[in-house]
Amino acid sequence: MRTVIAGGHGQIALHLERLLADRGHAPVGLIRNPAQADDLRAAGAEPVVRDLESATVEEVAAVLAGADAAVFAAGAGPGSGSDRKDTVDRAAAVLFADAAEAAGVRRFVVVSSMGADREPAPGTDPVFAAYLRAKGAADADISARKGLDWTVLRPGALTDRPATGQVLLAPSTGRGSVPRADVAAVIAALLDAPETAGLTLELIAGNALVEQAVRQLVR
């Protein structure tokens, strides 16, 4: 399976690239900075330089051509302002979805955020509020498309703890945290479960093995 991952140098993406490569798949990571290419190669992924804030749909579709799946795992990252939350977390996700449709890649997984489905509470940090609104707008755009077999994944608070392999994955989970490595494992399992297309799912640490958690969704 050839999977193109936007945000290919992010922590979740690097975990995912290692998982996919270890399973004999062919991950491709989109990066902005050519200096990151060796990190992707070390993870078993093919690096491709494409800046989703400036690339055209056609340029990104050229990378996606022939792929089996696409994963949007990009984000403006800490330290960025409200404007970049919109240009990366919303606009880049929409462009990546446009490119997937143009390339005929139907399977599409979005890494969103818990809380993206509602207006941020009063008093929320303005930049974080902009992030949640951007994620929510991207989710709404992608989930309305008929040309994609999309799954939206909304993790809780992300941690750098080692993978546990145990999660709670459901349309609604309540608040909680989850290791980035477990998020990557869930994405890999979702890619292997096309029956999860059309679902928006929350994810936190839990007691179910990843594969079991995904199977429970499609019974």
List the catalytic residue out of 96, 108, 131, 150.
Answer: 131
Which amino acid would we find at residue 102? A
**Whether 131 is catalytic:** yes
Residues contacting residue 56 through CB under 8 Å, at least 6 positions apart: none
Task: Say what the alpha-carbon torsion angle 17, 209, 132, 152 is, to the nearest 10 degrees.
Answer: 70
User: How big is the chain, counted in residues?
Assistant: 219
Centre a 10 Å sphere on the Cβ of residue 37 and count the other Cβ atoms it contains: 18
Which tokens in the block code for residue 33? 């900075």
Residues contacting residue 5 through CB under 8 Å, at least 6 positions apart: 13, 16, 17, 27, 28, 29, 30, 45, 70, 71, 73
Terminus-to-terminus CA distance in the chain, angstroms? 24
Residues assigned a catalytic role: 131
